[in-house]
Amino acid sequence: MKKCKKCGAELPEDAKFCYLCGTPTDSKKEEFVIDSDHLVEKIKEILREGNVTKIIIKNEEDKLLMEIPVTIGVVGVLIAPWLAALGAIAAIATRCKIIVERKE
């Protein structure tokens, strides 16, 4: 049996999602610490790489600033409001932590 990375529930080996919290079992996380001046550029770069399911942005104190669900086909007009909000975050934070969830 394997365990859910988020809630710790025991799952069957072939489970694709946790039956309690819905977290995908086949994802991995990457973390980046970056200056807020380069925040929007880094997010655009991550989105171009593809295979991303969620982007979480936290400040220096590890406080959640923004969580962006990324779906297949997110382009242009759909991502523009998120990027505008990132610009506002960059104006108030000095360093940010970006957590990227990807499908394996």
pLDDT tens for the chain, residues 1 to 104: 788 878 888 998 888 888 888 877 777 888 999 888 888 888 888 888 878 888 899 988 889 988 888 765 555 556 667 777 877 777 777 788 999 988 76
3-class DSSP assignment, residue 61: coil
Model pLDDT, residue 33: 92
- Please name which of 71, 53, 61, 67 lies closest in space to residue 98, comparing C-alpha atoms: 67
The fold of the 26-103 domain, in CATH, is Dna Ligase; domain 1 (3.30.1490)
